A = this chain, B = another copy of it.
Amino acid sequence: MSTAPSNNRLNRQQAESFLSSLSGHYYPNSSREFLSGTNDIQVPFRRIHLSETLHQPTPGVKLPPNEPVDVYDTSSVYGDPDATIDVKAGLKKVRENWIQQRHRESQQNNHGITQLAYARRGIVTPEMEFIALRENMGREHLENPITPEFVRDEVASGRAIIPVNTHHPESEPMIIGRNFLVKVNANIGNSSVSSSIEEEVEKLVWATRWGADTVMDLSTGRNIHQTREWILRNSPVPIGTVPIYQALERVNGIAEDLNWPVFKDVLLEQAEQGVDYFTIHAGVLHDFIKLTAKRVTGIVSRGGSIMAKWCMAHQQESFLYQHFRDICKICAKYDISLSLGDGLRPGSIADANDEAQFAELRVLGELTQIAWEYDVQVMIEGPGHVPMHKIQENMDEQLKHCHGAPFYTLGPLTTDIAPGYDHITSGIGAAMIGAFGCAMLCYVTPKEHLGLPNKEDVKQGMIAYKIAAHAADLAKGHPGAQARDDAMSKARFEFRWEDQFNLALDPVTARSYHDETLPQDSNKTA
C-alpha cells in the first residue's frame, strides 16, 4: 500500500497527458464535418478522405474521384481538432435551449416533457431531427432514408428510445431501436478509493474514441457522486447507471438493509446529476428465486442477487416492483429512460433460456406497459450466455412479451470455454442478436470473468462490438451501412493501401500489421 500515492500521481499524470494530447487528428486523413438541421442543429461526423485511383484504364481519361466516406462519430469534441478541452469546465450544453423550451411548454400546457410524451403528441423534437440526420449520414438519397417523422413514430410506438436526461444538456442525441443502427455500450467503473477527474474523463474519451454510443458508469466507492459528476459534465454520450449499487453503499453493503426511501434518494440524486438511463432490476420477483435453485450458475447478475437476497431475507415482494410506479414518476420528470434489468439472466450455456429467465422477461413486459403510462421510455436488458441455436428464441420472446420495446443485451456469449477471448465468444452472439433485431449491445472485454479491463481491453472489446454491430447493420440492410465496406473493397482491389488503412475501424493497427511484413512505402501504392 505504500506505493499507492505515487501510483495515483502517475495515473493522474498519464491521464492529463492523454487529455492534453487530444488536440489534433487521431484518425488519419479524416476531417470533422457537420450536418446542419433547422435552427441550431449541428450533427458532428467524421469524413474519411480517399486518394485517386491510380490505374487508369485509358491513358488521358481521368476516372471520377473516390468520394469521401462519412462515418457516424461518437467522439464529439474529443475527436474535433478545432476544439479546446477543459474538463473542469465541462462540455458545451448543446441541448440547453431545446430543454428550456420544453420545460416552458410543459408548464404552460401541463403535459409531459419526455421524448415519448412529445412523440405521442405528434411533435418532432430537435433531438429527433438531430438523430435523423445522424443516422442517415448525408445519405438521404438512398432508399428508405431515416426521416425525423420516422424517428418520432418509432419513439411514439415504444420501439425506440432517446435516452436524454434534461439535466444532461451536454449529450448529443442518439437513438436505440431495432430500425436504426445497432448501438454499443461500454461499461466503465472505478472501485479504487482515489481517482481524479482526468482519469475518469480519459476512460470516457477512450471508450467513445472506439465508438461507444452510451457508457455505463458502474463506479463504486466513497467518491461515487464526484466521479459521476465528472463523467456527466464531460460526456457527449448518454450515461447509464445501476442505482442499486450506490444504494447498497448507503446501507454499508448489507442487502437486507435496503429499502425504498434509501433507493429513492439515490434515484433523485442521480436524476439531478443527469444520468440518462437507469438499470432497475424490478423483475426479480420473490417467487422466481426458487426457479434458479437447480441452475449450474445460480444468479450471476449483481443487481439480481442483491434483490434476491433482499426478497429472501424479508420474505416479501421486491420493493423495486412494489414501487415501480414511483420510479416511473421520477423518470418522467427528468426524461430518464428505464433499462429494465435482467437480474435472472443465465450465467452459463447450461442455464440459457430457462424458466427463471423467461418468467422475469414476462414481468419486464408488464412493467414496460406501466412505464409507458407515465410517458417513460423503456428498453429491456437481456442475456448473457446463450448458445447460438437459442439466440433467436431470446429475441422472439422479448418481442412477444415486451411489446416491441428495444432489446439491450450483454453479448450473449456463445460458449463458456474461452476465458481471455470472451469479446469473441460474445461478439458472435452479439452480431447474431443484432441482426435479429437487438437494438443495443453491451460490450464484453477480453478480461470478462477474469479481472478488471485496462485501456487495451476496453479497445479490444469496443472493436469486437463495433464489428458485431456493423455486421448486424449490413444484415438488417440499414440505408448506407455498406458504403464503408464498398469503399474499402474498391481500395483493396486497386491496392490503395493508405485508403484501406484510413477506412479501417482501427487504422493504426491495420497500418502496423502491413508494415511488419512490407515496410517500404512503395508497397502501399501497388
Contacts and interface: CB of A to CB of B under 8 A. Distances in A.
A506 B467 contact: no
A471 B425 contact: yes
Interface string A493-505: 1000000110111
Nearest to A457: B513
B489 A349 contact: yes
A421 B467 contact: yes
Contacts of A140: none
A389 B518 CA distance: 35
Contacts of A447: 513, 516-517
A353 to B, nearest CB: 13
Interface in A470-487: 470-472, 474-477, 482, 484-486
A417 interface: yes
A36 interface: no
Contacts of A471: 387-388, 414-415, 425, 428
A142 interface: no
Interface in A510-525: 510, 513-514, 516-518
A179 interface: no
B416 A467 contact: no
Contacts of A488: 348, 416-417, 419
A238 to B, nearest CB: 24
Given A388-B432, A493-B298, A420 B474 contact: no
A423 to B, nearest CB: 8
Contact of A470 (B297, B417, B474, B516): B417
Number of identical protomers: 2
Nearest to A518: B451
Contacts of A452: 517
A485 B416 contact: yes
Contacts of A441: none
A17 interface: no
A463 interface: yes
Contacts of A486: 296, 348-350, 416
Given A471-B415, A489-B348, A513 B450 contact: yes
A423 B435 CA distance: 19
A117 interface: no
A474 B431 contact: no
A401 interface: no
A490 B389 CA distance: 22
Contacts of A500: 419, 449
B424 A485 contact: no
Interface in A75-95: none
B425 A428 contact: no
Contacts of A472: 388
**Secondary structure of the A side of the interface?**
helix
Contacts of A474: 349, 387-389, 414-415
A320 interface: no
A435 B484 CA distance: 28
Contact of A505 (B421, B466, B477): B421
A492 interface: yes
Interface in A376-425: 385, 387-389, 414-421, 423-425
Contacts of A416: 484-486, 488-489, 492
A489 B297 contact: yes
A446 interface: yes
23 contacts: A296-B489, A297-B489, A347-B489, A347-B493, A348-B488, A349-B474, A350-B486, A414-B471, A414-B474, A416-B485, A416-B488, A416-B489, A417-B488, A418-B463, A418-B505, A421-B506, A424-B427, A424-B467, A428-B428, A428-B471, A449-B492, A451-B516, A454-B516
Query: Which 9 pairs across A and B sit closest by C-beta, in order of nearness?
Result: A348-B489, A451-B517, A388-B475, A414-B471, A420-B509, A389-B475, A416-B485, A450-B513, A387-B474
Interface of A: 296-298, 347-351, 385, 387-389, 414-421, 423-425, 427-428, 431-432, 435, 446-447, 449-452, 454, 463-464, 466-468, 470-472, 474-477, 482, 484-486, 488-490, 492-493, 500-501, 503-506, 509-510, 513-514, 516-518
